Chain A
Amino acid sequence: MLIERKWKRWVYFYIPLTVFVVGTLFPFYWMLITAIRPDAELYRSWRAATNTPFWTLQPTLEHFRDLMAKTTFPQWLWNTFFIAVVSTAISLFCGLLAGYALARLRFPMAGTLGTSIFVTYLVPPTLLFIPLANIIRTFQLGDTPWALILTYPTFLIPFCTWLLMGYFKTIPKELEECARIDGATRFGAMLRIIFPIAVPGILSAGIFAFTLSWNEFIYALVFLSSPEKKTVPVGVVSELIRGDIYFWGQLMAGALLGSIPVALVYSFFVEYYVTGLTGSVKG
């Protein structure tokens, strides 16, 4: 360890770190305090002497109640969850098989295919949403969850494939060869030997895919139109703003409730998440 003076540790470490922590977390605190603050206090002049912006003495659950009673928020939560789970499952299935093939099997065009899957990973949704909207309309999938369940894998599959391919490459080939000598088929070895070992990789890919689809906005905005079919981000944007009027209390309550599921999933699997994140970057 390098020796350090006390004041130096404060100036170079504690103070900057505190600034980072406060800056990172303040917007979330602000969400919470807005969500539980009564309207009368919310819309008070910023010059008012009695203004206490950082806390409230009359916390209320009124905004949460309004959110539940006046909008279809629980339905949005369910839609988002359902779409995220199904598209994650599809993407994991495709990503597992494709990742294994690219990592282990020798076949012509393997390099080209690997590269093109990597390139599709880098194609942003905003490049394709207009033609995709047309295609969704031709398939008559508009305003159904399937429009999203089928399009979310376009950015999830490349990601899962890439991450799992990297993971498979770290598993020693000998394990598979042993199984094959013992009489397992190629397919059987993949299914019973390699996939179980890859569970941490599969979990991190799954968590990542789940949060990505929970986050997705532009496809959901363009492909869905009925209020009860929307996902949380789109529902909050389109139903809690009427013209120029923002229902800030309900908006923040919705933002909070809509963030909790992903935050929970993430907090349970934070270790996997971080290894997945770093694994995918190391490629």
Chain B
Amino acid sequence: MNKPIAGGAGSAAGLEVVLPHPRTTQPQRLTRLLENERALAALLLAPAVVILGTFIAYPFIMGVWLSLSSTSVGNAGEFVGVKNFAKAWNDSIFRTAFGNTFFYTFWATLFKLTLGMWLALLLNRHFRGKRIVRASMLLPFIVPTVLSTFAWRWMFDPTFSVLNWLLFRADLITTKLPFLSDGTYGMWCAIVVNTWRGMPFFAITLLAGLQTINPDLHEASSLDGANGWKRFWYVTWPLLKPVTIVVVVFSVIQTFSDFQLIYVLTGGGPANSTHLLATYAYQVGVATGLLGEGAAISLFMLPVLFVVVWLQLRYLRRMEGA
């Protein structure tokens, strides 16, 4: 008869040891639940997991389904297998967009890395107005891409281009350069704008990396007779590698999946010659309304993104292990 009461008293006494404050004993069950590491973790992670599950995992599965179906706006569609992928692969505009995406990513990343590294090395020195120069260098990265790309589009305007005016005045050209009215020029213009926008991010993160390097190392190597270039190549660069790899991965992912820059600058034109995968997927999936085909085109990005993310994860694991 007495057992349950004794047990109850015992557990209450046990509780008192854990929670000596009388105030905290009121919402006992909740408190006890929150003391449990697993329960607390589940509770804390729930909001993030719910949102990410609903708006990333679910759309992803749906995207795969869409790409395998003939869905278009106002038409539920049916399962058609890999027909959409095959159709895209045999489409000459898609081939161009596919090639452009790699071309754009490769050159833009290369330029961003080289110029960003150069700028970081310059900003790492002492000079007057250092703070304001550093702060203003980040502007292209802060200002919404669409808005700054409009300024570039205006600078590349076929009739009123200021760049043409400058080149003409400097006697470098006699006729206007067809900045955006020619596919090849258009692609290079996009690469220039992307480099302009992305370079500050490289510069600032590499600068942060540079500041962690002990100046004694430079001193020592210059005493050993290393010149500027050698000091960079044998001291700075190896130490910067981890930061560089992380920045490059981010940049590759963002550049590879870029949409807004091309959408504003060329709109994929002239004659669909400057499309990237994302802008072409938008044109087919949203502008034309062929949701299935559009979803298939954007899924062509996945293998590349997958490889990049996988390499990044492997690298991070190795760093943690070391």
Residues on A close to B: CB < 8 A? 2, 12-13, 16-17, 20-21, 23-25, 27-28, 30-31, 34, 42-44, 46-47, 51, 53, 90, 93-95, 97-98, 100-102, 105-108, 110, 113, 115, 117-120, 122-135, 150-151, 153-154, 157-158, 161, 183, 185-187, 211, 214-215, 217-218, 221-222, 232-234, 236-237, 246, 248, 251-252, 254-255, 258-259, 262-263, 266-267, 270, 273-274, 277-278, 281-283
Contact between chains at A46 and B159 (CB < 8 Å): yes
Q: Evaluate contact between A124 and B305: CB separation under 8 angstroms.
A: yes
The reply to whether B222 and A157 contact each other, CB–CB distance below 8 Å, is no
Shortest Cβ gap from A173 to chain B (Å): 14
Selected A-B contacts with CB under 8 Å, 12 pairs: A28-B151, A100-B44, A119-B309, A124-B278, A127-B63, A127-B301, A133-B291, A151-B55, A255-B148, A255-B151, A281-B247, A283-B246
Instruction: Give CA–CA (A234, B264) in the complex, Å.
Output: 10
Evaluate contact between B155 and A135: CB separation under 8 angstroms. Answer: no
Q: Which B residue's beta carbon lies closest to that of A132? A: B59
What CA separation (Å) do A180 and B277 show in the bound complex? Answer: 53
Q: How far is the CB of B48 from chain A (nearest CB, A)?
A: 4
Verify A185–B24 contact, CB threshold 8 A.
yes
- Identify which of A51, A108, A122, A270 gathers the most chain B CB atoms within 10 Å of its CB: A122
Residue in A2, A16, A98, A236 whose beta carbon sits within 8 Å of that of B44 in the complex:
A98
* Separation of A169 and B282 alpha carbons in the complex (Å): 41
Q: Cβ of A255: which chain B residues have Cβ within 8 Å of it?
A: 147-148, 150-151
Cα distance, A262 to B141, chains bound together (Å): 11
What are the residues of chain A within 8 A of B133 when measuring CB–CB? 17, 21
Contacts A130-B298, A132-B55, A183-B24 given; 15 further ones with Cβ under 8 A? A12-B228, A20-B137, A28-B148, A97-B45, A120-B52, A126-B259, A129-B282, A135-B62, A185-B35, A186-B35, A187-B34, A217-B260, A232-B147, A233-B147, A277-B204
Verify B122–A17 contact, CB threshold 8 A. yes
User: Which residues does chain B contribute within 8 Å of A123, judged by CB atoms?
Assistant: 56, 60, 305
Is A122 in contact with B253, judged by CB distance below 8 angstroms? yes
Stretch touching chain A among B3-11, B86-94, B102-110, B161-169: B161-169
Would you list the 5 A-B pairs with minimal beta carbon distance, nearest first?
Answer: A124-B257, A278-B208, A126-B278, A255-B147, A131-B63
B37 within 8 A of A: yes
- B196 & A23 in contact (Cβ 8 Å cutoff): yes
Cβ of B100 under 8 Å from chain A: no
- Closest approach, in angstroms, between the C-beta of A116 and any C-beta of chain B? 8
Residue B217 lies at the interface, judged by CB distance under 8 Å to chain A = no
Task: For the complex, give the distance between the alpha carbons of A135 and B59 in Å.
Answer: 7
- CA of A46 to CA of B301, assembled, Å: 42
* Bound CA–CA A78/B66 (angstroms): 35
Say whether B42 faces chain A, with CB atoms less than 8 Å apart.
Answer: yes
Contact (Cβ within 8 A) B145 A215: yes
The reply to whether A107 and B38 form a contact with Cβ atoms under 8 Å apart is yes
Q: Is B125 an interface residue (CB 8 A)?
A: yes
> With the chains together, A233 CA to B143 CA distance in Å?
11
Chain A residues with Cβ below 8 Å from B312 are: 122
Contact status A25-B205, CB under 8 Å: no
| Distance to closest chain B CB from A154 (angstroms) | 5
Which A residue sits closest to B142, measured CB to CB?
A: A266
User: B305 to chain A: which residues have CB within 8 Å?
Assistant: 122-124, 127
Q: A130-B291, A283-B316 are in contact. Are A214 and B254 (CB under 8 A)?
A: no
Please, which residue of chain B has its CB at the minimum distance from the CB of A251? B150
Q: A28-B139, A128-B63, A130-B294 are in contact. Are A150 and B253 (CB under 8 A)?
A: no
B233 at the interface (CB under 8 A from A): no
Q: Residues of A contacting B145 with CB < 8 Å?
A: 215, 217, 233
0/1 interface trace, chain B 260-284, chain A, CB 8 Å (1 if under): 1001100000000000011001100
Contacting residue for A281 out of B58, B246, B294, CB 8 A: B246
B170 at the interface (CB under 8 A from A): no
| Residues in A whose Cβ lies below 8 Å from that of B15 | none
Residues of B within 8 A of A30 (CB): 151, 154-155, 162
Most buried by B among A25, A128, A266, A267: A128
Q: How far is the CA of A282 from the CA of B245 in the complex (A)?
A: 11
